[in-house]
């Protein structure tokens, strides 16, 4: 499929790189392609970034048939631009699509589209330390019909946003609220897919946590509220003694690409990593016994985010006010590979 390019006549001014936040500024162009049952995915185009117009009856507004991805483009010191394991994001789009009946995309073509858009917007990839160009592909159901059924028509859209750290804390530890009332996902649900609805369902708990002064929520399993699952926008790792533990993929948490990469890095360093169930009681007990060494979240937006403390009911599990050595080493290695300052021995990066 060809990608047509319609360039803007009114390019925007680039932001001050030393003052970037997360997800507030968008580049000059976006990628769009349409789907209908007759033509499949078609009409791939890059157009000026701007508002889109939809019928008020459009399916996505009512029943939330939408998925999204989050990935980043990084500037290297020698002027190149690279993506990090982008084929994994494309694969995950199709996993998410499958769960909520969106037709599959051609993963190779979709990655080509992302690269073409990023290439056109090269000047927007920030170079300052800790910054990157966040890439947000998403798919929405576009039938204008109020009956509840699988939509026939869709749009795949990619927008770009120059960003700095996701949390205002930067890479300093964040404090997290353990949610014991609401749940995010249950087995058989959509937890493993990156569907918009998962995030809508998470907002009430996030709001509650924010009111108590916590930046995000640590979700427990949806059945017993006993086992640790993941954080609002990241997977979690806990070091207890010499074992680094992350919850297993059993359909309720997002299979994070950063999570997978962190496990591969840790194993390459001969650190003992376990994907296993971890109850909040075990975590609390490890804390009381002085065995809880480090905790951190992993995600594209969040990178490696050390966890300072967990609030669990009336208990405060204080981990550290400072970033621990493991989180620091992971952050340095991961961002080093992503930005090309460290050799990519894993073959994770893809040049644009």
SS3 for 234-286, per residue?
Answer: EEEEEEECCEEEECCCCCCCCCCHHHHHHHHHHHHCCCEEEECCCEHHHHHHH
* Main-chain phi, psi angles of 313, to 5 degrees: 60, -125
From the list 161, 159, 163, 160, the residue with the least C-alpha distance to 128 is 163
299 contacts ligand PLP (rule: CB under 6 A):
yes
Rounded CA-CA distance 213/13 in Å is 35
Residue 254 interaction partner, one of ligand COI, ligand PLP, none, beta carbon < 5-8 Å per kind: ligand PLP
Whichever of 142 and 300 has its CB closer to ligand PLP, that residue is 300
Whichever of 123 and 332 has its CB closer to ligand PLP, that residue is 332
Whether 97 contacts 91, CB under 8 Å: no
Do strands 243-246 and 272-275 pair parallel, antiparallel, or not at all (unpaired)? parallel
132 contacts ligand PLP (rule: CB under 6 A):
no
Residue nearest to ligand COI (CB): 70
Farthest-apart Cα atoms in the chain, separation = 63
Whichever of 71 and 286 has its CB closer to ligand COI, that residue is 71
**Encoding tokens for residue 236?**
């979690």
Using DSSP, state whether 60 is helix, strand or coil.
Answer: helix
From the list 205, 263, 257, 265, the residue with the least C-alpha distance to 234 is 257
Minimum CB separation from ligand COI for residue 86, in Å? Answer: 12
Residue 140 interaction partner, one of ligand PLP, ligand COI, none, beta carbon < 5-8 Å per kind: none
Q: Is 13 exposed, middle or buried (0-12, 13-18, 19+ CB in 10 A)?
A: exposed
Minimum CB separation from ligand COI for residue 94, in Å? Answer: 17
Question: Considering only residues 245-284, where is the footprint of ligand PLP by CB under 6 A?
Answer: 254, 256-259
137 contacts ligand PLP (rule: CB under 6 A):
no
206 contacts ligand PLP (rule: CB under 6 A):
no
294 contacts ligand PLP (rule: CB under 6 A):
no
The residue to which tokens 């199709």 are assigned = 94
Rounded CA-CA distance 173/292 in Å is 15
Residue 193 interaction partner, one of ligand COI, ligand PLP, none, beta carbon < 5-8 Å per kind: none
Stretch that binds ligand PLP, among 100-108, 205-213, 298-306, 332-340 (CB under 6 A): 298-306
Q: Is 19 exposed, middle or buried (0-12, 13-18, 19+ CB in 10 A)?
A: exposed
Stretch that binds ligand PLP, among 21-29, 112-120, 292-300, 339-347 (CB under 6 A): 292-300
Helix (H) or strand (E) holding 309: strand 303-312
Whichever of 260 and 320 has its CB closer to ligand PLP, that residue is 260
Q: What does the binding site for ligand COI look like in residue numbers (CB under 6 A)?
A: 70, 233, 299-301
235 contacts ligand PLP (rule: CB under 6 A):
yes
| Per-residue contact flags (x/-) with ligand PLP for residues 70 to 109, judged by CB under 6 A | x---------------------------------------
Whether 201 contacts 181, CB under 8 Å: no
Whichever of 44 and 70 has its CB closer to ligand PLP, that residue is 70
Using DSSP, state whether 135 is helix, strand or coil.
Answer: strand
335 contacts ligand PLP (rule: CB under 6 A):
no
Whichever of 57 and 203 has its CB closer to ligand COI, that residue is 203
Minimum CB separation from ligand COI for residue 196, in Å? Answer: 10
The residue to which tokens 């970037």 are assigned = 20
Using DSSP, state whether 331 is helix, strand or coil.
Answer: helix
Minimum CB separation from ligand PLP for residue 261, in Å? Answer: 8
Which residue ranges make up the site for ligand PLP (CB under 6 A)?
70, 230, 233-235, 254, 256-259, 298-300
């Amino acid at each position: 499929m060809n990608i047509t390019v319609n360039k803007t006549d009114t390019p925007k001014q680039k932001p001050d790189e030393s003052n970037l936040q997360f997800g507030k500024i968008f580049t000059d162009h976006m990628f769009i392609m349409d789907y209908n049952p007759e033509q499949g995915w078609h009409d791939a185009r890059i157009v000026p970034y701007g508002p889109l117009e939809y019928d008020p009856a459009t399916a996505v507004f009512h029943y939330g048939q939408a998925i999204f991805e989050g990935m980043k483009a990084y500037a290297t010191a020698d002027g190149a631009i690279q993506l990090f394991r982008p084929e994994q994001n494309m694969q995950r789009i199709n996993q998410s699509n499958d769960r909520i009946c969106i037709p599959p995309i051609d993963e190779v073509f979709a990655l080509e589209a992302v690269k073409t858009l990023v290439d056109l917007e090269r000047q927007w990839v920030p170079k300052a330390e800790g910054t990157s160009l966040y890439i947000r592909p998403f798919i929405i159901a576009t039938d204008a019909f109020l009956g509840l059924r699988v939509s026939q028509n869709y749009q795949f859209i990619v927008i770009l946003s120059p960003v700095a750290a996701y949390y205002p804390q930067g890479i300093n530890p964040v404090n997290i609220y353990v949610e014991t009332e609401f749940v995010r996902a249950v087995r058989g649900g959509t937890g493993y897919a990156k569907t918009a609805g998962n995030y809508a369902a998470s907002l009430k708990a996030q709001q509650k946590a924010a009111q108590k002064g916590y930046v995000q929520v640590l979700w427990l399993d949806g059945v017993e509220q006993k086992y640790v699952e993941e954080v609002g926008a990241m997977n979690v790792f806990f070091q207890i003694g010499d074992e680094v533990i992350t919850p297993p993929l059993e359909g309720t948490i997002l299979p994070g690409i950063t999570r997978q990469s962190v496990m591969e890095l840790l194993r390459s360093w001969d650190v003992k990593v376990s994907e296993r169930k971890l109850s909040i009681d075990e975590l609390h007990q490890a804390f009381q016994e002085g065995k809880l060494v480090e905790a951190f979240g992993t995600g594209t937006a969040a990178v490696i985010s050390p966890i300072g403390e967990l609030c669990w009911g009336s208990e405060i599990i204080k981990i550290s006010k400072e970033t621990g050595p493991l989180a620091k080493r992971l952050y340095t290695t991961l961002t080093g590979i992503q930005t090309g300052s460290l050799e990519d021995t894993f073959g994770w990066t893809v040049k644009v």
